[in-house]
Amino acid sequence: MALRIAASCVNCSACEPECPNEAIYPTESAFAIDPAKCTECIGFHDDPQCALVCPVEETCVIDESYPRYQPAA
């Protein structure tokens, strides 16, 4: 139920303020997503905002280790 940030992150910080769930935070080397907070932007926007604003393709990607987010019915 979340996106994750790959090692290709260039630390530009563009994604951080765009997240409607404040799920993105800086770490020493790159930015990271808190999977407990990320809703894949469901309920807010049509597409994941972090992936749209990120300048490096394939950096904000679906985290396969989590089941896809299910919006509350």
User: For binding to other proteins (CB under 8 A), which residues are involved?
Assistant: 10-14, 16-18, 45-47, 49, 52-53, 55-56
Residues in contact with ligand SF4, shown as a per-residue x/- string from 20 to 39 under the rule CB under 6 A: xx-xx-----xx-x----xx
Rounded least distance, CB 28 to ligand SF4, Å = 13
49 CB-side CA count, 13 A: 20
Out of ligand SF4, other proteins, none, what residue 42 binds, judged by CB under 5 to 8 A for its kind, is none
Rounded least distance, CB 30 to other proteins, Å = 12
Query: Structure tokens of 48?
Result: 């994941």
Answer for the pair 61, 6: CB distance below 8 angstroms, yes or no. Answer: yes
Of 38, 35, 23, 31, the residue nearest 55 (C-alpha): 31
